[in-house]
Amino acid sequence: MTAPTADRSAVVTGLGTFTPLGRGAADTFDALCHGKSGLRRPPEGHLLDGTLGAAGIAPDVEAREVLPPSEGRLVDRYTLMAMAAADDALADAGLVVGRDVDPHRVAVIVSSGAGGLTTYEEQAHARVERGPTAVSPYLLPGMLPNMAAARIAIKYGIRGWSSAIATACAAGAHAVAEAARLIRYGEADVVVCGGAEAPLNPTSALAFAHARALASGWDDDPEAASRPFDRRRNGFVLAEGAGVLVLERAAHADARGAAGYADVLGWGATTDAHRPTTPRPDGEGAAGAMRGALATAGLAPDDIDYVNAHGTATKLGDVAETKAVRAVFGDRSPAVSSTKSMTGHLLGGSGAVEAAVCALAVARGALPPTHNLDEVDPACDLDHVRGRARRQRVSAVLSNSFAFGGHNVSLLLGTASTRDKREKEKEGDDA
């Protein structure tokens, strides 16, 4: 394999997010910095009406918005959200495949933890209610977890590496790590990467609820349901959404005059090898992922200004992650926050959305807070960003994603290496 060289820095030149806070990475970041929650009770007529008291529901997106009419049959919501986010990310990067870059030098890695579960559930109901002939021949391309990546490649004529990584809640972060690896080793000049999930269907919701993984008792105040690191936390809030980043070889971005938000400097991945649904209590696997990211980037713990925590608000997970942060950083905790307190847990989409948040934190010099952190659990005592965004110079950040199966990924983002940087926007300056 070709050895990495200095001109192969992976710089983020485009961002697209689709979350319960709305569409658009910049607006989402502003909402996070102002402590705005996207969580609510599912409205009347929603698939989860009467099933959950709180959920993270993203905006509507129709097939005709992202696909030609002939291609819009039985496309799952996770794919539609991923395509909308990819459209926005490529537009943000100002990049046209075939004009600005050879299609064979562009890759796409857009992952999902489960793919089109809602489409599968609807087709299973159709078979039971109306018989075998009711099952659509479009079911498989509608539900497969690689279809977001495939349809993005088809739409934009991307001819290089194309894949999807199904590592549950670490899937989006894994995609970004693999994208940075492709650029570092010279296998691509541009990678469209990220993750998407659309789990807001009754079967998925009930499975999580019966596993006692979801927040409960907050029906009268759904915005208060997601409480990472708080003493009263009792589970995560199920949410949907997508995040897509355009990663580009820095020299390639400079050649076309593109500005960067941040570089993906490093990544680390480990496996707990412990239990299917709970983390190692000592946080050893999570700590190993963070140390791996530092090693790949050639940085020390003291270089890190901020950790965007996995922070789902589960009793065991938040304590294990706190132990991991302490193991890596000792008594000097960097600033820590969990944006899932406002977005909910997007499962396979979370890592990509949070990587986008971290890129903006570096570009703007602002750290979003953890919402609902009214009383810090003594077992989670870190340097939490609370109440409002913290304004400071941000040179290097970690973004953590941990998943069922014991998959741990940590991404390390730092100052963009392109000649042109993204201008700090007003909300970031005022945060």
Kindly report, residue by residue over 326-379, the tens digit of the pLDDT.
999 998 999 999 999 999 999 999 999 999 999 999 999 999 999 999 999 999
Whether the pLDDT of residue 5 is over 70: the answer is no
- In SS3 terms, 364-408 reads as HCEECCECCCCCECHHHCCEECECCCEECCCCEEEEEEEECCCEE
Kindly list the catalytic residues.
Answer: 169, 310, 345
Confidence class for position 425, pLDDT limits 50, 70, 90:
low
Structure tokens, 229? 């690191």
**pLDDT value at residue 2:** 43
Task: Identify the residue with better confidence: 2 or 161.
Answer: 161
- What would the 3-class secondary structure string for 228-260 be? CCECCCCCECEECEEEEEEEEEHHHHHHCCCCE
The pLDDT of residue 7 is 66
Q: Is the pLDDT of residue 285 over 70?
A: yes
User: Quick one: pLDDT band at residue 70, thresholds 50, 70, 90?
Assistant: confident
Confidence tier at 8 by pLDDT (50, 70, 90): confident
Question: What's the Cα-to-Cα distance from 193 to each of 25, 67, 114, 161, rounded to whole Å?
Answer: 15, 19, 17, 11
Mean pLDDT of all residues in 33-51: 96
Is residue 426 pLDDT above 60, yes or no?
no
State what percent of residues in the chain have pLDDT above 70.
97
Q: Please say whether the beta carbons of 337 and 368 come within 8 A.
A: yes
The domains found in the chain, sorted by start residue, are 7-418 (3.40.47.10)
Q: Whole-angstrom Cα distance, residue 112 to residue 213?
A: 20
pLDDT exceeds cutoff 60 at 26: yes
Q: Where are the beta strands (DSSP E) in 289-345?
A: 306-308, 335-337
